[in-house]
Amino acid sequence: MDDAHLFSKRDYPELRDAVRRLCADFPATYWRTLDEERGYPTDFVGALSQAGFLAALIPQAYGGSGLPLRAAAVILEEINASGCVASPAHAQMYIMGTLLRHGSEAQKQRFLPGIASGDVRLQAFGVTEPDAGSDTTMLRTRAVRSGDNYIVNGQKLWTSRAMHSDLMLLLVRTTPIEHCARKTDGLSTLLIDLRTAKGAGLEIRPIRTLLNHHTTEIFIRDLEVPVDNLVGQEGEGFRYILDGMNAERILVAQECIGDGHWLVAKAAAYASERKVFGRPIGQNQGVQFPIARAYMELEAADLMARKAAHLFDHALPCAAEANMAKLLASEATWKGAEAAMQTYGGFGFAQEYDIERKWREARIYQTAPISTNLILSYLGQHVLGMPRSF
């Protein structure tokens, strides 16, 4: 039995099989080498683009497949469940949603076909700043109108994949917060063409982190951005970003579940094969039960992620479900990672088994794209009606 797919799924079987076949061309050695070199999986992302997987959510009118969010989530899940890494490509799916839902028809015609074909990469999302953190309304990056351009100044942090993107969606403040009735007003979204912006007012610096996540910080000084690159209405950017975050959390939750199933499958297979003191270690309840519990919690998280995707695809409110799916998936996957590491013992630390690499990848889900505590505070306030906790 293929231990990486010990736990078969029920929906979109043909799509799952197609993703697995593509992933089979990118074995563990490919990812291990990239991890050691801090490299970007250019060939893998290219293969995903050529196969049309990254254009799943783009309507057929613009060269995509026009699939529902659930189908896109399945693609990301299967990538990680195959032992590959979806994060270098996942943003190509959800960032374009802001353009698709709020951009003009001219902008859609201009950008979406290239994104769908893979000729243009929209992988970077410039939101977080050093001093604002998760308090997005307090960001300081400013865009001031000057004729047919905006003049942009500021700094962004934790902007992943900016060095491997052609375009970046940038959240800026176009109206000073002191002039706004609400602090969520006065924010706008701009599409930045990184191909021309780099060296012309925009600088990208890589940040070395625990895992190979291609993270950067961005410095912007007097960058000219055409007014035509404003997505939607000026001052409405916060609403647009929140709209896209629900999709992001649902997709990342399913991606996370894929990692969890890979880890649990590896742990179950190793526990069945590895013999110590004359018997398989998986025969011991102390080894077996944590693996079984992680599997159970992954299945429960999967149900919440499915519910959230269903609501999103039917244009129904889904913020609570998207947040819960992301939290439940992150915690279940981390339990799977811990169970795998404990099951493999010392071998879990050896790079050749890939457990330590996936263990590192699994940890980020509790922090990004939103931390566990912020999700809990959202549920406490907006779902349970308790006082705001911050």
Give the catalytic positions in this structure: 248
Nearest to 18 by CA among 41, 45, 52, 46: 52
List beta partners, residue 362.
none
The alpha carbon of residue 379 and the mean position of all alpha carbons in its chain are separated, in whole angstroms, by 21
Q: At what angle do helices 319-344 and 285-313 cross, to 10 degrees?
A: 160
Nearest to 84 by CA among 3, 124, 33, 30: 30
Tell me the residue type at 376: L
Burial of 34 (0-12, 13-18, 19+ CB in 10 A): buried
- Its sign, for the CA torsion 138, 142, 143, 146, is positive
Distance CA 248, CA 365 (A): 12
Distance CA 120, CA 167 (A): 8
Element (H, E) at 280: strand 279-280
Element (H, E) at 112: helix 105-117
Cβ of 383: how many Cβ atoms within 10 Å?
12
Is residue 133 within 8 A of residue 140, CB to CB? The reply is no
Helical ranges in 204-318 per DSSP H:
237-273, 285-313
